[in-house]
Structure 1
Amino acid sequence: MRHPADGEAWKEFDRTFSEFAADPRNVRLGLATDGFNPYGVLNQHHSTWPIFVFPYNFLPWKCMKKEYMMMTVLITEDSGRSINVYLRPLVDELKDLWTNGVRTYDKSTGKMFTLRAAVYGL
């Protein structure tokens, strides 16, 4: 698989949500995080958790390029007990983008449209 669009999950999503799939301007996103200890001392409780969003609408060789990824949250403490507090605003915005979308201008057509977004867990 070179791109998430090649996978069966993407195809099943398109069959299930055909209205979303019909508009290529809708955004498909991937969400990733990985915590690390910036000081290299494993017995310290401080850690850093960047939360990245990747747009999958790009060609396979562009999806994961750093110029297209968005760091949406940076958690700079031990997130073991409170990561949900930091992720709640992001999750709420992503749910709103899926449910309601946002009015956006399409320069190529010169018209406004409702942009929606879906998050893929691959």
Structure 2
Amino acid sequence: MAMDRINGSPLVRPSILDQFQTTRKGEEKTEGSAPAVGAAVTQGKPTADKAEISDAARELVDLRQAVETGRAALAELPEVRPERVAEVQQRLDRGYYQSIEVMNTVAERIMGVVQAMEMP
């Protein structure tokens, strides 16, 4: 078993000396007193808490913000207008939405939305 000599005292491990030279945060060290068992070894630098956020958690935060933004946008939309509903109902009855021109326009708009979602 190797022994170190520090200040003329043989110690089995230098870390024992370190424990006696440090105190807990906020404690006063009095002459001849030893810190409590398990006291942190500090070298004049305060320790800070650290948290790491995963990519999945970041994505969930982004999705939550998107949902909240969508809800806010929906809340700002005007109420249902009966005259507009009647107009759309007439177009449905006449087959307006079955025309090739309308279908192409709808398809183009959907593709624009899909492409916008795929862009980073």
TM-score (norm 1): 0.27
TM-score (norm 2): 0.27
Write 1 or 2 for the structure with the bigger share of helix: 2
Q: Which has the larger radius of gyration?
A: 2
